[in-house]
Amino acid sequence: MKLPVSATMLLLTLFAPTLPDQNNPPADPKSVTVIDAGIGACTADFTVNDADGAPVYAAKIQVHLTYGFMNLHKMDLEAGTNAAGKARFIGLPDKPNQGLFFRAFEGTRQGSAFDNPAKTCKANLTITLAR
């Protein structure tokens, strides 16, 4: 039985071994993750430490943004920390109605930080993770 060319191509595609993506090399643990909200000129630079003051690698930092007319626009952002516990958010709004609440976590440890970009547009924040 001879398969049509389209069926043969489909089978080859489905059963062909997958090759690693050459365009996405592994993440460098030393490079700082930068997440751009694209809605303002403010920034927040983070250092995430454990209770002993050591940097926490691969911690997640989350922030929920509301902006625009009557705060109808919403955005959730997340950044992971590098080996030095660093991450950065840029393009944050300069006049949020209630400031920005950042939550960091890694495993069962968590911590938080608050910033009001209307007062501190270029914030440097440290979050200590506790159980």
Of 46, 48, 34, 31, residue with least CA distance to 91: 34
Cα dist from 31 to 27, 82, 94, whole Å: 8, 6, 26
Does residue 21 register a pLDDT over 70? Answer: no
* Domains of the chain (ranges, CATH numbers): 30-128 (2.60.40.1120)
Is residue 44 classed exposed, middle or buried when 0-12, 13-18 and 19+ CB atoms within 10 A define those classes? buried
Sign of CA dihedral 107, 128, 42, 95: positive
Q: What is the tens place of the pLDDT at every residue in 27-71?
A: 678 899 999 999 999 999 999 999 999 999 999 999 999 888 887
Tens-place pLDDT, residues 70-129: 878 899 999 999 999 999 999 999 888 789 999 999 999 999 999 999 999 999 999 999
pLDDT at residue 81, rounded to an integer: 97
Residue 58: CB atoms within 10 A of its CB come to 14
Question: What is the per-residue pLDDT for 13?
Answer: 56
> What pTM does this model have?
0.78
